[in-house]
Amino acid sequence: MSEFEKSALNKVVRGPNRAVYSKADVYKIVDSHFLCHLAYVYEGTPIVIPTGYGRKGDVLYVHGSSKNRMLNYLLENESVSATITHMDGIVLAKSVFHHSFNYRSAVLFGKPRLVSNEAEKMDALKIITDNIIEGRWEEARYPNAKEMKATMVMAIDINDASAKIRAEGANDDIVDADLEVWTGVLPLTVTVGQPEPNHDCNPSVEIPNSVVDFNF
Amino acid sequence: MSEFEKSALNKVVRGPNRAVYSKADVYKIVDSHFLCHLAYVYEGTPIVIPTGYGRKGDVLYVHGSSKNRMLNYLLENESVSATITHMDGIVLAKSVFHHSFNYRSAVLFGKPRLVSNEAEKMDALKIITDNIIEGRWEEARYPNAKEMKATMVMAIDINDASAKIRAEGANDDIVDADLEVWTGVLPLTVTVGQPEPNHDCNPSVEIPNSVVDFNF
């Protein structure tokens, strides 16, 4: 399957010309971020929480404390979704109405599953860690038995997804052509600052490759 | 009310020492961003969608097309929430387990309301526009009757909120003190690039104050 099938769930209703269903394109958006937003319903109110993630094939992994309220609620759902959002810029048009954002946004749908197999769980933690900062897993101390027990890993077996991309200038109405208003895009990017060593970090320890090579 | 009351809904269960309930502190997080994530439940599946917003007092405004599926679903809820997330950095510890993020995150709860009063609706659009890019409202053409009709504005009357802030280095276990692993923070910030004029932007129109003064 190289294309996600359109269904009532994942079909992009507003702005369908910006819709993306190709698996490669959707996963490109997923793999170039590390923070997703998940929602669970608590006593009738949907609540959205940000969390880190990693992907392997058609599986998205997230983790948290074993007592994490959201994960425990999500695991009772038949279907959950995870949203990944890149905010790429503010689009300024002549009319307020045609102002917009440039963005890349993906929504992944699937059945949640508690990862109880220890090997998959350890692998999932590596995948999440290295998706956040590549190569970090091998630099740090692996989780021990106690830490593994305190950690819950949830897999979402992705069976549906869609994405939207907007990456262009302002599209004003022809009637506004003569208005003397500046139009264009104000690009926004996430940038990495200078690494800040911990107060108790031994100064003789070199900054590791994961940090030197980091890019978002 | 200068403090949001703790309830089962907004009480921070995990990492309560990072919890923030002061209204001023919560709104500081809200006012320094312009993108929130909202969730609605579509046939049993919670779906999260990013959208722009603006705040006035205890009201959060969002908008979309009149046909926007999410907004129409949300308006049927007794209670909705909006999440605002600033990702400030990646925290690298000696153990994988103590890796973390630095962040400022707020969740606002309230009853959703369709803004049908034209004056409040116009004011809400100004608030949203100027929260995204201050001063832009006065530079661009205001919405006309047709555009107002095509636009839906939803207010969330905020009656509950909480926030979490993490802004510190790694907190490793004492048993790991002698491990020769670099620890510290990799700071992440959203930065603004050079404004990109539209292909059809008259070159004699100067870059406006809203763009020159923009900061995130």
Q: Which residue of A has its CA nearest to B74?
A: A46
Tell me if A139 and B199 make a contact (CB, 8 A cut-off).
no
Please tell me the CATH code under which domain B16-86+103-167 is placed.
Answer: 2.30.110.10
Tell me if B81 and A181 make a contact (CB, 8 A cut-off).
no
- The highest-level CATH class for domain A16-212 is mainly beta
Tell me if B95 and A143 make a contact (CB, 8 A cut-off).
yes
Question: Alpha helix locations (H) across chain A?
Answer: 23-31, 69-74, 118-132, 136-139, 145-150, 209-212
Among the partner residues B78, B96, B205, nearest to A140 by beta-carbon distance: B96
Q: What is the pTM of this model?
A: 0.94
Query: B13-24, pLDDT tens digit by residue?
Result: 556 568 888 999
Q: Which residues of A touch B64 (CB under 8 A)?
A: 14
Identify any residues that bridge with B41 across adjacent strands, giving them in sequence order.
B46
CA B109 to CA A31: how far, in whole Å? 31
CA A113 to CA A106: how far, in whole Å? 20
Q: State the burial class of residue B36 (Cβ atoms within 10 Å of its Cβ: 0-12, 13-18, 19+).
A: buried
Could you give the 3-state DSSP secondary structure of residue B63? Answer: strand
- Of the candidates B186, B183, B163, which has an alpha carbon nearest to the alpha carbon of residue B173? B183
CA A126 to CA A142: how far, in whole Å? 9
Query: B161-191, pLDDT tens digit by residue?
Result: 999 999 999 999 999 999 999 999 999 999 9
Give the residue extent of every domain in chain B.
16-86+103-167
Model confidence at B71: pLDDT above 80: yes
Q: Where are the beta strands (DSSP E) in A43-122?
A: 45-52, 54-56, 59-65, 80-92, 100-114
Q: What is the ipTM of this complex?
A: 0.94
Tell me if A82 and B189 make a contact (CB, 8 A cut-off).
no
- The pLDDT-based confidence of A47 (bands split at 50, 70, 90) is very high
Average pLDDT, chain B: 94
Q: Over pLDDT 70: what percentage of chain A?
A: 96
Among the partner residues B48, B140, B184, nearest to A93 by beta-carbon distance: B140
Q: How far is B140 from chain A (nearest CA, A)?
A: 5
- Of the candidates B185, B105, B82, B39, which has an alpha carbon nearest to the alpha carbon of residue A35? B105
Query: A92-115, pLDDT tens digit by residue?
Result: 999 999 999 999 999 999 999 999
